[in-house]
Amino acid sequence: MILAGYRLELWGVRMNRIEGGCHCGNLYYVFEASTGLEQLGVRACMCRFCRAHGARNSSDPNGAIQIDVRDPAQLVRYRFGLKTADFLLCAHCGVYIGAYLPDENGGRFTVNVNTFCEPPPLEFPLVPHDFGEENKAGRIERRKAKWTPVTSFRV
């Protein structure tokens, strides 16, 4: 059973636990945010991929995310542009759940809020972002600073 949108206390910090994943359930995650989406914000990336998928992304450098893949054969890792992150899609249902920047500490993730079990309303304020002018080093640095730490990625 999937539970979504409740608060818990972790190491003295109130966390917002949000569960989500792809449509068929093959890609599943638990996002523990240190604050609500109102404070974290929701981004509308202006790249062609994100626009084509209608993605609305958020991340929390003070939070954590755990990702589980039930059938690894159905996980698609797509890289484009500067090829610094894996855009995770389900080959079975076609849903894009977010982008993963692997590193020696477990990686960083930005989550597509449309894949929350209870996604925010479509009227939720979006801030458009165009990252097209970033170089590879700058893009990696920004993602490490602003994306959510991955505490578990089970494939």
Query: Residue 62 — very low, low, confident or very high, per pLDDT cuts 50/70/90?
Result: very high
Q: How many Cβ atoms from other residues are within 10 Å of residue 97's Cβ?
A: 24
- In whole angstroms, give the CA distance from residue 139 to residue 99: 13
- Among 11, 61, 57, CA closest to 35: 61
pTM: 0.88
Residue 51, classed as helix, strand or coil, is helix
Q: Has domain 6-154 been given CATH number 3.40.1640.10?
A: no
Q: What is the pLDDT of residue 14?
A: 57
What is the percentage of the chain residues whose pLDDT exceeds 70? 91
Q: Which amino acid is at 52?
A: A
**In the predicted model, is pLDDT for residue 1 greater than 90?**
no
